[in-house]
Structure 1
Amino acid sequence: MKKNQFFRAFALLLLLTAGAATAQQRSLHDLQQQFVDLRFGMFIHFNIPTFMDDDWADPDASPAIFNPKKLDCNQWAEAAKSANMSYGCLTTKHHSGFAIWNTKTTDYNVMNSPLKRDVVKEYTQAFRAKGLKVMLYYSILDTHHKIRPGQITKADIDMIKAQLTELLSNYGEIAALIIDGWDAPWSRISYDDVPFSEIYGLIKHLQPNCLVMDLNAAKYPTEALFYTDIKSYEQGAGQHISTNNNRLPALSCLPINGSWFWKADFPTTPVKDVNRLVNENIVPFNKAWCNFILNVAPNRDGLIDNNALETLKQVGKQWKNEGPVATLPANAAPIISSNIAKHQPANSSWSDDMNLMDFANDDNFRSSWVSNPAVKQPWFEIAFDKEKEFNMITIVEDQQRIQKYRLEYNENGAWKPIVSENENAGRVKIHRFPRVWGNKVRILIDEFSAPPAIAEFGVYNEKGR
């Protein structure tokens, strides 16, 4: 299908699914609790990279290579049950853009492969038949359809919306959607290029109880839910949850083999050790409100290898799902709107040349504005080109140093208070307040334990408040 046809397809799908949001909506905290209560699940990386030797598949690979002649999603579900898992999550579309469902948005899909079967449909049916919850994985980055940094068009966004509409309309209740390839340092597709708030709103419209999880832990701080309902940690990428300090609903993922998609040596190479899977992953993570998802990659026949099957059985013998975990602490609502302070003109009190004010709103949490030690009352300011409305400010410190501060905005040349004499012990500070209009916003720092270092100062206009 040509790109100029995507919008028409998407509009039609919205009409057909206008009643999809009729299910009773549960609170986000309840949904997060239900997610961590699931404890343990199966990630299933199965897509066109399965039939290649690289997880990052050739975007021009022919659908003809996708030919799992013995595909049996029931085997996958039985394997998950043998390990006492509670759910599965299937890669509906990975970074190279091949869709393994019967999509109307592109010809680059499973129905044009030798298989000619809707894998998403067979997976959802098989897992539900075993009493397992169903989740889906979807990649925003799509190298086949040229959805990549610097090339995003309206037609691309329409295609993404149309594909998500299909996935959330045609396959029953989806407990969570795991999104990848979006606003990560390696994908470089920002939440402005593909607007996060629009995608998030569409998902919640179609399925109000579907959790949205973006795999963005490579960029965003661990102490708050930036653009995700669940905090995620990819162990192979060096992302490790603190089981002592975490208080957010979380997910940690790891492949049972050496990579995500099947490789020819998988059947003869040892998989992860059962004791380590149980005692270093499932058990400690569950105590820290973290769900563990273990990737088990089907082979080119569409079946899970025997060594992985046996390990899953052994996990099931050693670990039993005891039901709900401890009550999840209350936490701030996810940040889903655009940061209007990003890359705007900034000013500040004295700082060294290597730590200038621009580093506090450069969309990089690994760089910081640092106040010069001689400054007794540091301040930092964002200036807009015109008066803007906003109702939330976030402050992310490099290290926790600020002890007392005030937030103000400038309206018609006068500074007015937003937050006065604030004491906040956390490294990440989130302030939501009644909407104001101003052309500047600033933080005045009154007390600190060492020269303040602000990694990111964010300003947002959250809709619906």
Structure 2
Amino acid sequence: MCPLWILTTTLCLLSKFTVSTRELLPTPPLPLLPLPSFSQLKWQQREIIMFFHFGVNTFTDSEWGTGHENPAIFDPVGLDANQWVSAAVNAGVSLVILTAKHHDGFCLWPSKYTRHSVSSSPWKNGNGDVVRELVTAAKAAGIDAGLYLSPWDRHDRRYGRDLPYGSIREIWFDGAKGSNAPNMSYYFTDWFAMVKALQASINIFSDAGPDVRWVGGETGSAGSTCWSTINRTSLSIGNATIVDYLNTGDPKGTDWLPPECDVSIRAGWFWHKSQSPKKLSELLEIYYNSVGRNCLLLLNVPPNSTGLISETDVHRLREFRAAIDTIFSTNLAEKCFIKASSQRGGKGGGFGPENVLDGDHLWTYWAPRDDEDVKEHWIEIRGFGAEAGEGLRFNVIRIQEAIGLGQRIKRHEIYVNGKRVAKGTTVGYKRLYRLEGGMVQGQVVRIRVRESKGVPLISSIGLHFDPFWHPNGQQLT
């Protein structure tokens, strides 16, 4: 039997050790509301998703159909949804969205509620289902599918979906309506509730969310200030007066409603024989102004009248993905020293600046001390050859916040060798700067957070070289 004094002494020592251990482990910073849901975080990490605008407009060389088209014109004899999905996968896309019904009302699935659908077309003798084929192809390739539905119906106000297609990751409600259209009220609240009841994990897109908001334009560009937070009570679908608010978001917003930038690889949304895909330089500009400004990029690639993605578009998508990989596959900062103005919990506390160079861009982060007397924080990257005068060659700087704990940074500046090379407001999931002066060669890069909501939490920093960026005719070698 253990003597009482030994037992008492042991318990005291264990108690003391436990308290000491707790004192050594700093608590993580408190979340800053509102916060993203799990499905919103997964959506944001996709970075680029793909749109397929396809329907009767593909065969009439139009963008907005009248609703009076003869279904007999819809006959994509070579339709191959696997080819569409393959083009998406090769572009690094993990979610594709199909215009199941555009403004003309023509349904790409056989609906029992209307004859204005594929069931009245010669394609597959009226037995085809484009939605089914796309969802099946996406599942086989291991990516997700989504659907676009336009409440505005120029053929028939009634429409429905009577076939189950399995898990759908995003549903896209278009708020567009022609100026001469009847003044019809849409039951968005009821529709949203029905969608969530059928699949709780889905993300619903519209001008007013509730999960993803429109960025307010169709150029693929977010505001230079872009908050994921906004007040949903200030939003309404189809309201042209709120586009600026949608574009920038609201630092005092009570709802997490991140923006989605939609743009087409061509001038139009539907395929037109006379059009060609945008240049690679244009697509990269769109990438920097969307993904690089805390948005997700929804890139439309329209199948042609044969039912295939045109080879010119497939080629441009390959170029686009290869360029992104070339730019961001190497992070020069990974081979550097890193230090910060302060560190929560001190050295070894788990919130050190080294976290910004690991592979986790979401849940590991640098957190400075929560000191009310300190109004400004900084983190610095210094090359190993800095003392010898060697410099890092780069022209792109990447900053990412730990948005799982809220969006915080309101104003920041970037210095190379003491000279300011960039300044901005929000960061969010990802902020990218292509330096206006072109390539720089420097030893010390310092990011100064001038203003933030609570302490800033930076999850990742990158220094990259973009060989496709030629400001003012500068040629990079």
Instruction: Please state which band the TM-score falls in when normalised by the shorter chain.
Output: 0.5 to 0.7
Picking from 114, 121, 135, the partner of 1:124 is: 135
Alignment match of 1:49 (pick from 53, 57, 74): 57
**What is the aligned counterpart of 1:263 among 262, 272, 284?**
272
Q: What per-residue deviation string (whole Å, max 9, x for no partner) do you get for residues 17-59 of structure 1?
A: xxxxxxxxxx962111111111101110001111102111121
- The alpha-carbon deviation at position 239 of structure 1 amounts to 7.9
- 2:302 aligns with one of 297, 302, 314: 297
Amino acid at match of 1:176: E
Q: Which residue of 2 aligns with 1:360?
A: none
Counterpart of 1:176 (choices 141, 165, 170) is: 170
What is the aligned partner in structure 2 of residue 83 from structure 1? 91
Counterpart of 1:106?
114
Q: Which residue of 1 aligns with 2:281?
A: 275
Deviations 1:392-414 (A, max 9, x none): xxxxxxxxxxxxxxxxxxxxxxx
Residue 201 of structure 2 corresponds to residue 209 of structure 1: yes
Cα 1:314/1:125, change in 2 over 3 Å: same
Q: Which letter does structure 2 place at the counterpart of 1:293? A: L
Report the 3-state secondary structure (helix = DSSP H, G, I; strand = E; otherwise coil) of the residue aligned with 1:92: strand
Q: How does 1:448-463 map to 2 (within 5 A)?
A: none
8 A Cα contact 1:247 1:329, kept in partner? no
Amino acid in structure 1 at the alignment position of 2:213: K
1:200 aligns with 2:192: yes
Cα drift, residue 127 of structure 1: 1.6
Are 1:232 and 2:243 counterparts?
no
Match of 2:441 in 1: none
Q: Is the 1:181–1:189 Cα contact (8 Å) retained in structure 2?
A: no
**TM-fit CA distance, 1:189:** 5.5
CA distance, structure 1, for counterparts of residue 71 and residue 172 of structure 2: 24
Question: Given residue 286 of structure 2, which amino acid in structure 1 is its aligned partner?
Answer: N
Q: For residue 312 of structure 2, what is the aligned residue in structure 1?
A: 307
How many residues matched? 274
Provide the secondary structure at the position in 2 that maps to 1:177: strand
**Partner SS, residue 212 of structure 1:** strand
Q: Which of structure 1's runs of 4+ aligned residues deviate more than 4 A?
A: 182-190, 321-326, 329-332
**Does the Cα contact within 8 Å between 1:29 and 1:330 map onto a contact in 2?**
no
**Pairwise CA distance, 1:86:** 1.7
One-letter amino acid of the counterpart of residue 141, structure 2: K
Over aligned residues, Cα RMSD in angstroms? 2.9
User: Counterparts in 2 of 1:68-79, with a 5 A limit?
Assistant: 68-79=76-87
Q: C-alpha deviations, 1:420-443, integer Å up to 9, x for none? A: xxxxxx9xxxxxxxxxxxxxxxxx
Aligned partners of 1:106 and 1:178: how far apart in 2?
A: 21
Q: Deviation of residue 178 (structure 1)?
A: 0.4
- 2:148 maps to what in 1? 137
Normalized against structure 2, the TM-score is what? 0.53
Q: Whole-Å Cα distance in 2 between the matches of residues 311 and 255 of structure 1?
A: 13
SS in 2 for 1:282: helix
Aligned: 1:245 with 2:245? no
Letter in 1 for 2:202: C
* Contact map agreement 1:33 1:327 (CA 8 A) in 2: no
1:328 and 2:403 matched: yes
Instruction: Quickly say closer, same or farther: Cα 1:119–1:233, change in 2 above 3 A.
Output: same
TM-score computed with the length of structure 1 as normaliser: 0.54
Deviation readout 1:309-356 (Å, 9 max, x if unpaired): 100111121124989664436779xxxxxxxxxxxxxxxxxxxxxxxx
C-alpha distance in 2, partners of 1:273/1:179? 29
Gaps of 5+ in 2: 1-34, 230-257, 330-359, 363-400, 408-452, 454-477
Q: CA deviation at 1:188?
A: 7.4
Rg larger for = 2
